[in-house]
A and B are shown apart, each in its own frame.
Chain A
Amino acid sequence: MPQFDPAFFAPQLFWLAVTFITLYVLMAKVALPKIGAVLDERQRKIDDNLDKAAQLKAEAEAAVAAYEKALSESRAHAHSVIKEASERLSKQAEERTRDLSAKLAEQIKAGEARIAAAKDAALTNVREVALDVAGATVSRLVGGTADQAKLETAVASALKEQGQ
């Protein structure tokens, strides 16, 4: 067999070494880094896209959260505005009621005072009229003038008897 002929060992080993070393250098320096770069690039692209998708998802979620927060905030704001307005209005109404009732009470008091004054004046008039009537009655019945002091006491007692 030619395989066991030592004459061909040296040339085969020599060219094996030459070609294999060449192949090794070509693989290590050219071919494998190229293929490796392509594979890495693909992996990176896939990872990038996944990252981007995750980022977009997070952004969408943040937007939803922001929207809901804004919604609840504006709801709370509306509540507070309504509450404030109703409080202010009720306070105003209360104040107005208080003012009105104070004014009315004052007017009532003034009226009562006027009535009392009028009553006093009327009573004084009644006494004077009674004195006059009594004086005139006495002078017509008895003739002459009646004693003024006696008339006054009489009228006063009569008025007292009437419960005045």
Chain B
Amino acid sequence: MANPIEQFKIKPIIPLEIGGVDVSFTNSAVMMVISVVLITAFLTLSVRSRALVPGRWQSMAEVFYEFIAGMLRDNVGSAGRKYFPFIFSLFMFVMFGNLLGMIPGAFTYTSHVIVTFGMAIVVFTGVTIIGFARHGTHFLRMFFPEGAPIATAVILVPIELISYFSRPFSLAVRLFANMTVGHIILKVLGGFVVTLGGFYVLPGIVPFAFLGAVTVLEFGIALLQAYVFTILSCIYLHDAIHMH
């Protein structure tokens, strides 16, 4: 039985180094590039005909566009419109990473905590900068709401600070953990199918049925986690723009 952790292994394909830092082009980078190419191809080729009555592909591109635009409008309002390309890219990048990872043998870059953390920290610092740029020092009110008794500051401020600074970690770990655990379960179940099926056909059917069900579930999780990552980013953006 193959090691379920092996699928997360990074394999350098083209070793590169810039200023003493290893920036090798790895299997992870390959999937990222494939994602970018597929997303761009999908979104540009589908609307090439600019049909008034959209076809299948154009409908899908429009659905994604309007889904994210609606999410941003509902959670942030009209002030969030200029962040639309960023939020949209974030959603597509995470979603394609999750879904491409479902292809057997493919690498899932969203199962690497450094990747999810990289995106989360960009969201976190970006949102913090937007907050200070919009409200100046008044943004610090985030950590001590107006109207609360001054005596509660001792408890309230640390809690608010911790909850604020834990945002990038929760954002990153949620996605990474979901992807990693999901893929480990798939791998383990797949191992059961092979081992038990090799032993005798009938016992192999049970884990195979489980594997089928969990695969469907994992597709759902792939979409759901992309949605969750994006909507949390929208909510953080809302906090920065409108405060509480």
Contacts and interface: CB of A to CB of B under 8 A. Distances in A.
A34 interface: yes
Given A2-B10, A19-B36, A45-B52, A27 B114 contact: no
B114 A12 contact: yes
Interface size class of A (residues with CB under 8 A): 35 or more
Given A3-B113, A20-B93, A31 B86 contact: no
B179 to A, nearest CB: 10
Interface stretch (A35-43, A71-79, A93-101, A144-152): A35-43
Chain A contact surface mostly: helix
Interface string A1-44: 11111011111111111111011101110111011111101100
Interface residues of B, number: 50
A30 B48 CA distance: 11
B32 interface: yes
Given A2-B9, A4-B113, A27-B88, A15 B65 contact: no
A12 B28 contact: yes
Contacts of A9: 114
Interface string B24-63: 1110110011011001100110010011101000100110
B112 A23 contact: no
A35 B52 CA distance: 12
Interface in B65-112: 65-66, 84-86, 88-89, 92-93, 109, 111-112
A12 B65 contact: no
A68 B129 CA distance: 68
Nearest to B84: A32
A116 B76 CA distance: 123
A11 B29 contact: yes
A46 to B, nearest CB: 9
B23 A15 contact: yes
Contacts of B118: 12-13, 16-17
12 contacts: A3-B113, A11-B28, A11-B29, A12-B26, A15-B25, A16-B109, A19-B32, A26-B36, A32-B65, A36-B65, A38-B47, A38-B54
Nearest 6 Cβ contacts at the A-B interface: A15-B29, A28-B85, A31-B43, A19-B32, A14-B23, A8-B10
Interface of A: 1-5, 7-20, 22-24, 26-28, 30-32, 34-39, 41-42, 45
